[in-house]
């Protein structure tokens, strides 16, 4: 038997005797086979792993030469291991446990078993760590070898932390103190390692050394990364400062991430799924080999439209869902959707983070940071990710898990060769099912007896459907709904439909699909047929019942049966209760139909209804969240035949916005020609996006609304657009653009005292953010004068608060309290709860400076509760910072620390610059605590 070593330099030993593994390039070929020991590796994958993007001339000949030498090396060793050529690629036949890398993985998996005792866990993890001889593939060049090194270094560190935690729970601190310093020296920025060592030192009565290590770590992190230790280490540090007893069990040092839920996003399994036995087995093999592979575990399923890629992926995912205990993610990437652009990676990642229960305000800005958070959530978990209907590799790469244990299944009409070569994804090309499999699909839906009665008709249906599963499923659904129809009758109808589609003539398989679509469409009730055609106009990834009702101009109670009829005919799918979607081929067919059948006026009327539905429903939701907002532009009348969404309260309004978020983005991008809707819809959405921390989306929709206002040429709407964009840029910290837009708004509002007053208040906010507080007060006073003159009481109350805040930051605290008390009384009279939150924050600030700590704390706590009602997490965090200051001043540093840490968590996840100030506050508190101890 040969033992192979990949930790350190590549080595092979036969009965303890080293074998000649050849040049570094030959070692790379050996390693490329060993990371998939016992499984076939394609020639293309070998070439990519060894040479990357720069393969030499005659690459295959060079590869074959190296493979030949490896064969000779194994033959001379006199052992059973060998390299075999199989249909799927080259296989090195070896027990994976004879490869240190795979043995390490097996032992670590045993160490993670929640049923294991700490004694067993510590023992097997120590055995795994003992296999480490050095950096994996130490002498090998290339990107692939670098990826292997990075991946296994992370696994080693994770195993070391788990081992140390098990030892600490057993009370064996000496082993941890003896082992971890060298590992920490190798990886000086890895907080979990340092945390375990600090915990061990504390348990051993060496708290002073632990404090020294914390100080050194904080300095390293500041110098190298510009950041502070995480909340868990800071909490351990505070316990050390207070001389607390060792924790039992020890403090668990992990990343500051939310405790995730286990999402279950798979669409329903395909009813009557049949065939594809070989493909299902191939996916099973990919999964079975995932635990012994160092590369990302992924399968790329490709094939023509309608061939059953999604059905295969979803059916297989349901079969193996129990092997992914931490959840299953699914997204339709709409790579070939006829009505809109493909889903952007940032939007898909955002949906995944939502599925894990990550609050929107904790999702950082920027794709790279979002992907980092997503992959951190998947680390050390078993999650299945189904990426359906991808357009290309670039759409998929950010969505792939970054660690072993998870698996991704990608479907696409394209082969995604780049994904196969760069990530090692397993390619699976889906071809048409055989005639026998096609008949089996029909039999699963209709029963074998019915097919046996008319075998010739069945053969003809299979032929006319070109064996496309999507087409066969539609025909079977029609037959199932009409059990009295002979299959010969259906075959004749289908034959006639195919012959009449001259505009679709051609050899493309989608011709046959369209023929089936046409045949099925012609069986629909006329009202259902109209709805199906009009669905081709809808831009969103799915549609709710109420929106579908608006699209066809019918009440929801009349629309539900039409949607049910389309679902029964397999022209539509109810993927979650009350929300419907369809295959992109069917969407494309519906789009063609509506342009061929419906007039321009009918299509425009349908679009006006559905856009009107979204505009008025969003307005109703926004009104619940902002009852004292100023509606900057009158909404167009509700189109005839439209029932606006019925929303009962703020929670219902927030739920509606969240469910329709991707649809609303698609609709506002589509709605050219409806500028009277684009203006109010853009402003409404910008407020919701602002609350949720989607500031880029907020600026995007405001840009669309602004362009619409300029096309309309309405000076008032243009002024509102400038002010709204100015506010959005103040919120995001872009003060230069904010000043530009607010200056334009002030000029455009000439003669409109209320509009000018709102802009003056916005300028007050901008100057306050810039630290120009005297100017801020001047703008606030001018806003108050204008609101009072116009008799605008909600604006008057907000302006009173602005004046009070400006006095407070200028040190005039008694004046501030007086103005804020007036504002609060008026807002309570009006029922303006959001205004009360803003004023309560200002009042708390002034009371704090007057030394009235109890009243200040009460005011801030009430303010936090109010902001939570509106899900306004930025202002919630901002008020937490202020409350922390009061607790500190009142002599309660522990309460202050809790508030600052909570605020820092929100700011950090939002990517907001206030995180830096909050960290500085925590540093100051730590220094004060040390100084007083």
Confidence bin at 114 (pLDDT 50/70/90)? low
Pairwise CA distance, residues 372 & 154, whole Å: 15
The top-scoring range by mean pLDDT among 25-39, 174-188, 402-416, 798-812 is 798-812
The dihedral over CA atoms of 483, 487, 488, 489, expressed in degrees to the nearest 10, equals 40
Cβ atoms < 10 Å from Cβ of 578? 15
- pLDDT given for residue 857 in this prediction: 94
**Which CATH number is associated with domain 2-96?**
1.10.10.10
Pairwise CA distance, residues 595 & 235, whole Å: 64
Torsion 162-166-169-171 (CA) sign? negative
Return the ∠ at Cα 131 (arms to 129 and 137), rounded to 5°: 110
Q: What are the structure tokens assigned to 813, written together?
A: 């605290």
Average pLDDT for 321-335: 86
pLDDT, tens digit, 9 for 90 and up, residues 212-253: 888 888 877 766 555 567 666 777 887 777 665 443 333 333
- pLDDT given for residue 333 in this prediction: 87
In eight-state DSSP terms, residue 267 is P
Is a pLDDT exceeding 70 seen at residue 634? yes
Write down the architecture of domain 277-429 according to CATH. Answer: 3-Layer(aba) Sandwich (3.40)
Q: Is 636 left (phi over 0), alpha (psi -120 to 50) or beta?
A: beta
Is a pLDDT exceeding 90 seen at residue 836? yes
Is a pLDDT exceeding 50 seen at residue 294? no
Q: Strand, coil or helix: what is 386?
A: strand
Whether the CB-CB separation of 383 and 329 falls below 8 Å is answered with: yes
Is a pLDDT exceeding 50 seen at residue 491? yes
Cα–Cα distances in angstroms (integers) from residue 849 to residues 261, 816, 817, 922, in the given order: 42, 11, 11, 20
Is a pLDDT exceeding 90 seen at residue 661? no
Round to the nearest angstrom and report the end-to-end CA distance of the chain: 63
- pLDDT given for residue 340 in this prediction: 57
Pairwise CA distance, residues 546 & 555, whole Å: 8
Confidence bin at 872 (pLDDT 50/70/90)? confident
Confidence bin at 513 (pLDDT 50/70/90)? low
Is a pLDDT exceeding 60 seen at residue 504? no
Whether the CB-CB separation of 790 and 754 falls below 8 Å is answered with: yes
Average pLDDT for 670-688: 84
What predicted TM-score, i.e. pTM, was given to this entire model? Answer: 0.52
Domain ranges of the chain: 2-96, 100-242, 277-429, 435-522, 526-598, 599-712
Averaged confidence pLDDT in the chain? 83
pLDDT, tens digit, 9 for 90 and up, residues 133-168: 888 888 788 777 877 777 787 788 888 988 998 999
Q: Which residue has the tokens 């990517």?
A: 911
Backbone angles phi, psi at 86, to 5 degrees: -120, 175
pLDDT, tens digit, 9 for 90 and up, residues 805-818: 999 999 999 999 99
In the sheet where 17-18 sits, what is the strand order? 2-5, 11-14, 17-18
- pLDDT given for residue 540 in this prediction: 81
CA proximity to 112, closest of 175, 75, 158? 158
Higher-pLDDT residue of 294, 758: 758
- pLDDT given for residue 693 in this prediction: 60
Pairwise CA distance, residues 20 & 470, whole Å: 55
Confidence bin at 731 (pLDDT 50/70/90)? confident
pLDDT, tens digit, 9 for 90 and up, residues 299-317: 899 887 777 888 899 999 9
Whether the CB-CB separation of 399 and 300 falls below 8 Å is answered with: no
Is a pLDDT exceeding 90 seen at residue 471? no
Number of alpha carbons in the 13 Å side-chain half-sphere of residue 360: 20
**DSSP H or E stretch at residue 411:** strand 407-412
pLDDT, tens digit, 9 for 90 and up, residues 182-204: 888 888 877 888 889 998 998 88
Cβ-Cβ contacts under 8 Å for 169 (sequence gap 6 or more): 118, 248, 249, 250
Average pLDDT for 450-474: 83
pLDDT, tens digit, 9 for 90 and up, residues 55-68: 777 788 888 888 88
- pLDDT given for residue 403 in this prediction: 67
- pLDDT given for residue 569 in this prediction: 76
pLDDT, tens digit, 9 for 90 and up, residues 419-437: 887 777 888 988 878 888 8
In the sheet where 298-302 sits, what is the strand order? 328-332, 384-390, 407-412, 298-302, 426-429
Average pLDDT for 18-25: 87
Average pLDDT for 587-613: 90
Backbone angles phi, psi at 178, to 5 degrees: -75, -30
Is a pLDDT exceeding 60 seen at residue 295? no
Q: What are the structure tokens assigned to 404, written together?
A: 């072993």
- pLDDT given for residue 25 in this prediction: 87
- The top-level CATH class assigned to 526-598 is mainly alpha
The region of weakest confidence among 78-87, 451-460, 776-785 is 78-87
Backbone angles phi, psi at 499, to 5 degrees: -70, -20
Average pLDDT for 843-850: 94
Backbone angles phi, psi at 482, to 5 degrees: -130, 70
Confidence bin at 630 (pLDDT 50/70/90)? low
Pairwise CA distance, residues 477 & 830, whole Å: 58
Higher-pLDDT residue of 289, 664: 664
In eight-state DSSP terms, residue 99 is B
The top-scoring range by mean pLDDT among 96-110, 440-454, 752-766 is 752-766
Backbone angles phi, psi at 5, to 5 degrees: -125, 125
Average pLDDT for 451-474: 83
Whether the CB-CB separation of 12 and 19 falls below 8 Å is answered with: yes
Cα–Cα distances in angstroms (integers) from residue 577 to residues 89, 563, 603, 647, in the given order: 45, 12, 27, 18
Average pLDDT for 332-342: 72
CA proximity to 445, closest of 479, 468, 470, 490? 479
Confidence bin at 913 (pLDDT 50/70/90)? low
Same fold, 2-96 and 526-598: yes
Confidence bin at 904 (pLDDT 50/70/90)? confident
Cα–Cα distances in angstroms (integers) from residue 900 to residues 109, 362, 621, 894, 919, in the given order: 38, 15, 32, 10, 8
- pLDDT given for residue 246 in this prediction: 40
CATH topology of domain 100-242: 1.25.40
pLDDT, tens digit, 9 for 90 and up, residues 346-398: 888 888 887 887 655 456 666 777 787 788 778 767 889 999 989 888 888 88
The top-scoring range by mean pLDDT among 268-282, 790-804, 917-931 is 790-804
pLDDT, tens digit, 9 for 90 and up, residues 545-563: 999 999 999 999 999 999 9
């Amino acid at each position: 038997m040969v033992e192979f070593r990949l930790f350190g330099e590549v080595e092979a030993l036969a009965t303890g005797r080293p074998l000649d593994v050849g040049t570094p390039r030959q070692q790379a070929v050996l390693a490329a086979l060993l990371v998939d020991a016992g499984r076939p590796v394609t020639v293309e994958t070998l070439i990519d792993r060894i040479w990357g993007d720069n393969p030499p001339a005659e690459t295959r000949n060079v590869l074959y030469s190296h493979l030949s030498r490896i064969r000779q090396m194994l033959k001379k060793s006199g052992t059973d291991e060998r390299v075999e050529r199989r249909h799927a690629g080259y296989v090195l036949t070896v027990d994976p446990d004879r490869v240190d890398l795979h043995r390490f993985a097996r032992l670590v998996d045993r160490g993670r078993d929640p049923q294991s005792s700490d004694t067993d866990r510590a023992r097997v993890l120590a055995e795994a760590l003992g296999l480490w001889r050095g950096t994996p593939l130490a002498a090998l060049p290339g990107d692939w070898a670098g990826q292997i090194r990075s991946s296994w270094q992370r696994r080693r560190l994770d195993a070391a932390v788990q081992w140390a935690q098990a030892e600490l729970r057993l009370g064996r601190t000496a082993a941890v103190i003896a082992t971890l310093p060298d590992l920490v020296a190798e990886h000086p920025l890895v907080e979990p390692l340092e945390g375990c060592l600090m915990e061990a030192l504390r348990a051993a009565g060496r708290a002073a050394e632990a404090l020294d290590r914390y100080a050194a770590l904080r300095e390293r992190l500041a110098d190298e990364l510009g950041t502070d230790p995480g909340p868990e280490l800071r909490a351990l540090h505070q316990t050390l400062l207070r001389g607390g007893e060792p924790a039992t069990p020890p403090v668990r040092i992990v990343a500051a991430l939310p405790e995730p839920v286990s999402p279950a996003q798979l669409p329903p399994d395909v009813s009557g799924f049949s065939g594809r036995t070989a493909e299902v087995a191939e996916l099973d093999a990919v999964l079975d080999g995932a635990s012994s592979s160092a590369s990302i575990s992924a399968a790329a399923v490709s094939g023509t439209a309608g061939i059953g890629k999604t059905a295969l992926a979803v059916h297989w995912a349901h079969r193996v869902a129990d092997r992914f205990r931490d959840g299953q993610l699914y997204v339709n990437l709409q790579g070939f959707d006829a009505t809109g652009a493909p889903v952007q990676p940032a939007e898909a990642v955002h949906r995944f983070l939502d599925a894990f229960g990550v609050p929107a305000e904790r999702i950082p800005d920027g794709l790279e940071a979002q992907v980092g958070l997503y992959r951190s959530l998947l680390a050390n978990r078993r999650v299945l990710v189904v990426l359906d209907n991808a357009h290309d590799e670039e759409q998929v790469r950010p969505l792939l898990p970054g660690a072993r244990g998870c698996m991704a299944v990608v479907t696409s009409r394209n082969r995604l060769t780049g994904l196969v070569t760069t990530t090692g994804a397993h390619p699976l090309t889906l071809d048409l099912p055989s005639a026998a499999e096609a008949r089996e699909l029909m039999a699963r839906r209709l029963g074998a007896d019915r097919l046996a009665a008319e075998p010739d008709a069945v053969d003809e249906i299979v032929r006319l459907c070109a064996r496309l599963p999507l087409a066969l499923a539609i025909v079977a659904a029609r037959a199932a709904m009409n059990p009295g129809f002979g299959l010969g009758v259906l075959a004749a109808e289908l034959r006639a439909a195919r012959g009449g589609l001259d505009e679709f003539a051609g050899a493309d398989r989608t011709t046959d699909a369209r023929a089936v679509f046409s045949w099925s469409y012609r069986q629909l009730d006329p009202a259902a047929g109209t709805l199906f055609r009009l669905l081709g106009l809808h831009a969103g990834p799915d549609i709710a019942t109420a929106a579908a009702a608006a699209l066809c101009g019918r009440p929801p109670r009349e629309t539900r049966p039409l949607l049910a009829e389309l679902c029964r005919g397999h022209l539509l799918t109810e993927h979650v209760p009350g929300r419907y979607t369809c295959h992109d081929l069917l969407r494309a067919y519906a789009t063609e139909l509506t342009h061929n059948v419906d007039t321009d006026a009918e299509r425009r009327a349908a679009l006006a209804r559905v856009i009107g539905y979204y505009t008025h429903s969003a307005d109703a939701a926004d009104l619940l969240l902002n009852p004292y907002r100023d509606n900057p532009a009158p909404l167009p009348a509700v189109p005839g035949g439209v029932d606006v969404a019925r929303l009962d309260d703020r929670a219902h309004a927030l739920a509606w916005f969240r469910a329709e978020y991707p649809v609303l983005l698609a609709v506002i991008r589509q709605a050219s020609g409806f500028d009277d809707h684009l203006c109010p819809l853009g402003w409404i959405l910008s407020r919701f996006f602002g609350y949720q921390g989607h500031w880029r989306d907020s600026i995007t929709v405001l840009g669309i609304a602004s362009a619409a206002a300029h096309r309309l040429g309405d000076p008032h709407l243009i002024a509102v657009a400038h002010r709204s964009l100015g506010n959005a840029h103040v919120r995001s910290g872009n003060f230069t653009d904010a000043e530009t837009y607010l200056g334009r708004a002030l000029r455009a509002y000439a003669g409109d005292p209320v509009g000018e007053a709102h802009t003056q208040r916005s300028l007050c906010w901008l100057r306050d953010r810039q630290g120009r507080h005297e100017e801020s007060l001047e703008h606030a006073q001018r806003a108050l004068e204008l609101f009072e003159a116009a008799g605008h009481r909600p604006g008057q109350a907000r302006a009173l608060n602005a004046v009070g805040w400006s006095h407070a930051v200028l040190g005039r605290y008694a004046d501030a309290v007086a103005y804020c008390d007036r504002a609060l009384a008026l807002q309570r009279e009006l029922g303006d709860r959001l205004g009360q939150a803003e004023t309560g924050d200002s009042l708390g600030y002034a009371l704090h400076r007057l030394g009235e700590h109890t009243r200040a704390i009460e005011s801030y706590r009430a303010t936090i509760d109010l902001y939570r009602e509106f899900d306004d997490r930025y202002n919630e965090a901002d008020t937490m910072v202020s409350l922390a200051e009061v607790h500190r001043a009142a002599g309660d540093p522990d309460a202050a620390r809790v508030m600052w840490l909570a605020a820092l968590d929100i700011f950090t996840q939002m990517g907001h610059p206030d995180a830096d100030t909050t960290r500085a506050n925590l540093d100051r508190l730590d220094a004060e605590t040390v100084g007083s101890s």
